[in-house]
Amino acid sequence: MLTDLPLEIQIKLIQMVPDSNLKYTSPHFYLLYNDLFYHKFIHDFGEESLIVILKVIPWLVPYIKSLDSFRLMNRTIISNRLNLQLTSPTNPFNVQFIKDSWKYIYSIFKNKRLFAEYQDYRIDEPSNYIFNHYVEINRTYLLSYKKTVWLSPGKYNLNTGLAVKYGHGLGTTKFEIKYDNEKINFYPPTNINDILPKNQFCFLKIGEFEITRGKNDENSTQKLKKIEITMEEIGLYIKSGFRIYFIDISQPSLLFNEYDLLFYTLKETNYIYFINIFLKNLYKAINFVQNGGCPDNSSYSCAPKRYGYGNPFDLFKEYEKSYLKDSTSTEANQLFEYDDDKLKEYSNLYYNTKFKRYFKFTTIYQQRQFINRYGDYQIDWNTDDEVVNADDDSKRCEYDKEGLKWKIPIIGEL
């Protein structure tokens, strides 16, 4: 029996099996796989980041709980085997939605999704509209955005979620990543206004970058790097006719890196399908705590405390509170009182609403490679579900059939 082998060998086996598929063979290996993400969390982010988790539990637990709409059975395998309860008098990590969910917690800290906020964007007004969850760009020469986040060393993709009506001026936008003495610039394709489809949600890859540890970091307990992200207009062209939902920093993925995808698109623009309210609240809390009590908008001057010592309740008025039992309350402790029925209803809408996706690859070769492996996504895109012949199923695209990979931070493997 594999379970009779020494623990060190079992761990090596999990890491050697492609995509860690050994975790599906038994509850024992599934628990071990989950525990390894806890150790990976400590290794990549440091023990100081455990303090961050403790401070953001009121926002972390509702988000992890919302994932039960598609992973309830998998989570309860761990929870039941370990006899986890909702609270613990001795160990705040030894509870449901934390100890049974380390790979999802790891993915939250490894990736960052920067949702649109009023205070982050500098644009001409009143011709532009900044709503609660996205920014509408309409005839502006001024466009500036700055954000500060913490990331662990590694390779990343820089992406953005947007919708284009007619799209003027996108090609003269500069994206910049800055940390330590490093500065990395990205520019969208000059013909971006022409290649993006109109009136559809687009998830566009801007570029790739790598964060490295310096020589002075070798003896430091701080394993994360403070990153400043800037988006700004560099030309004299008017910007108009597009909507920004978020900027996304994610781990490399099979779709964007192995198959060199430029963007994918959905026939929908309603923000409720692209802005995860619980994840937005969670990242707002995490960024504030990691920044030592300073806003993540680097345009504001602030004297931060130590990493991890910000108080997320200081931002209580800025969180989306429509899913609380009492959404009109001004008391911070109401954050613990989420309405479970509202949470389940929202989670089912967000995670279980499926969309057809159209993929735009950089080269025809990569497109053919993808179709040969996963099937032809163009059949799905151009055919109504009601008239699809059963004989055509083998030709249809099998990639991410549940439509979940783009809705949650990339998990990656051990």
Which pLDDT tens digit goes with each residue over 84-102? Answer: 999 999 999 999 999 999 9
**Residue 14 confidence (pLDDT) above 90:** no
Number of H helices, E strands in the chain: 11, 13
d(CA 278, CA 287): 14
**Residue 387 confidence (pLDDT) above 50:** no
306-311: average pLDDT: 91
The predicted pLDDT at position 168 comes to: 76
Question: Which one-letter DSSP state was computed for residue 290?
Answer: H
Q: pLDDT band at residue 294, thresholds of 50, 70 and 90? A: confident
The predicted pLDDT at position 329 comes to: 59
d(CA 157, CA 152): 13
Q: Give CA separation, 323 vs 65, 113, 279, 343, in Å.
A: 13, 21, 13, 6
The predicted pLDDT at position 388 comes to: 44
- 238 or 334: which leads in pLDDT: 238
Question: Among 3, 70, 71, which residue's Cα sits nearest to residue 32?
Answer: 3
The predicted pLDDT at position 131 comes to: 60
- 83 or 214: which leads in pLDDT: 83
277-288: average pLDDT: 95
Question: Among 251, 265, 175, which residue's Cα sits nearest to residue 408?
Answer: 251
**Structure-derived torsion over alpha carbons of residues 374, 380, 386, 387, reported in degrees to the nearest 10:** -90
Strand, coil or helix: what is 108? helix
d(CA 159, CA 285): 22
- Long-range contacts of residues 71-75, Cβ cutoff 8 Å, at least 24 apart: 74/30, 75/100, 75/101
The predicted pLDDT at position 390 comes to: 44
Q: pLDDT band at residue 288, thresholds of 50, 70 and 90? A: very high
Which pLDDT tens digit goes with each residue over 111-139? Answer: 999 997 767 777 765 444 556 688 887 77
Arithmetic mean of pLDDT over the chain: 86
d(CA 399, CA 375): 8
**Is the sign of the CA dihedral 120, 283, 255, 350 positive or negative?**
negative
Q: pLDDT band at residue 303, thresholds of 50, 70 and 90? A: low
Token duo for residue 145: 């955005």
Indicate the helix (H) or strand (E) that contains 31: helix 27-45
Per mean pLDDT, which range of 62-71, 115-124, 225-234 is the poorest?
Answer: 115-124
Token duo for residue 92: 């705040």
| pTM of the shown model | 0.92
Q: How many residues belong to the chain?
A: 414
296-306: average pLDDT: 71
**Residue 386 confidence (pLDDT) above 50:** no
